Amino acid sequence: MNVVISKDTREMGELAASKAGELIKQAVAERGSANIVVATGASQFETLAALIAQKDIPWEQVTGFHLDEYIGISTDHPASFCKYLSERFVSKVPLKAFHFIDGMAKQVADECSRLSDLITAHPIDVALIGIGENGHLAFNDPPADFDTEVPYLVVSLDEACRRQQLGEGWFSTFEEIPTQAISMSVRQILKSNAIVCSVPDERKADATAKVIEGPITQDVPASILQSHLATTIFLDPPAASKLSESMSATR
Ligand SMILES: N[C@@H]1[C@@H](O)[C@H](O)[C@@H](COP(=O)(O)O)O[C@@H]1O
């Protein structure tokens, strides 16, 4: 795992997008196509804006996968990750395909199977992800399942995760926030050839320090990224503010 501390949030997004763009272009040059995973949330604002601004990515050869989605939130709800991805990414670049998670599916088990089959047929070149204030990876809250081989699964959201969504302003009341989601599993995320993790904001400083410098534990799900050699975590200075001095010196 590599760590890059940028000078501000904008630069964090530019550096993360530049890394992701290089990896996408490399995959297309080598294989003729690329498969990517795209996350949502406040963490991805700058990264996705910088990614869609890159002019030399052959998007027609790129297939995208959706990292996680609430169960029971329609696509016109302000918190819908489908809405977020449509508006900020899918409508902005001419992708070969994008596989959304249907959080309104009547049979969520069938939806997980459909997505699992699709992603198994599309090995991922690069996953763009974030981490939660509670250290979650996608919607795998602590203690996360590090063992399941299932690519997509139904997960329960813990209170800290749901409070984060309220704090970011995606919902107007705590009660409105779903208690379940469909998420890519931890093992599926780790199968990505490369991982580009964007982490801005002081709200993430505690989780960032645990993820990067603490032990690998299911209680801090994103700490498993330490075991993935082709992961780069891009931080802004507030997110990096609780790292040890030696780590901060890598800036
Ligand atoms: N489940 C989403 C993830 O897709 C995201 O990567 C992560 C970080 O959240 P945020 O970017 O909102 O800070 O947790 C969110 O709740």
Cα distance between residue 137 and residue 139, in whole Å: 6
172 backbone dihedrals φ, ψ, rounded to 5°: -95, -20
| Over residues 162-185, mean pLDDT | 94
| Over residues 182-193, mean pLDDT | 98
Residues in a beta bridge with 184: 152
ipTM: 0.92
CATH number at residue 44: 3.40.50.1360
Domains held by the chain: number: 1
Under 8 Å between Cβ of 134 and 207: yes
Give the pLDDT confidence of 70-89 residue by residue, as tens digits: 999 999 999 999 999 999 99
Give the pLDDT confidence of 89-131 residue by residue, as tens digits: 999 999 999 999 999 999 999 999 999 999 999 999 999 999 9
Place of tokens 């169960």: 71
Give the pLDDT confidence of 33-77 residue by residue, as tens digits: 999 999 999 999 999 999 999 999 999 999 999 999 999 999 999
Decide: 237 in ligand 1 pocket, CB within 6 A: no
What SS3 class is residue 251? coil
Decide: 13 in ligand 1 pocket, CB within 6 A: no
β pairing state of 34-38 and 68-70:
unpaired
Percent share of the chain, pLDDT over 70: 98
| Strand residues in the chain grouped as ranges (E) | 2-5, 34-38, 62-66, 68-70, 97-99, 126-129, 152-156, 180-184, 194-199, 231-235
pLDDT, residue 244, reads 93
Q: Does position 8 have pLDDT exceeding 60, yes or no?
A: yes
The mean predicted confidence, pLDDT, of the chain is 96
Domain extent at residue 238 = 2-249
Instruction: Using the mean position of ligand 1's atoms as its centre, give its distance from the Cα of residue 32 in Å.
Output: 30
Which two three-digit tokens encode residue 212? 């990067």
pLDDT, residue 19, reads 98
pLDDT, residue 249, reads 54
Q: Measuring from atom 10 of ligand 1, which residue has the nearest CA?
A: 41
Cα distance between residue 140 and residue 155, in whole Å: 7
Percent share of the chain, pLDDT over 90: 95
Q: Does position 199 have pLDDT exceeding 70, yes or no?
A: yes
Give the CA distances from residue 169 to residues 144, 162, 164, 239, 245, in Å, rounded to whole numbers and listed in that order: 25, 11, 9, 19, 33
Cα distance between residue 84 and residue 82, in whole Å: 5
| Over residues 193-218, mean pLDDT | 98
Under 8 Å between Cβ of 88 and 80: no
61 backbone dihedrals φ, ψ, rounded to 5°: -100, 10
Q: Does position 245 have pLDDT exceeding 90, yes or no?
A: no
Cα distance between residue 26 and residue 24, in whole Å: 5
pLDDT, residue 87, reads 98
Q: Does position 250 have pLDDT exceeding 70, yes or no?
A: no
Instruction: Using the mean position of ligand 1's atoms as its centre, give its distance from the Cα of residue 80 in Å.
Output: 12
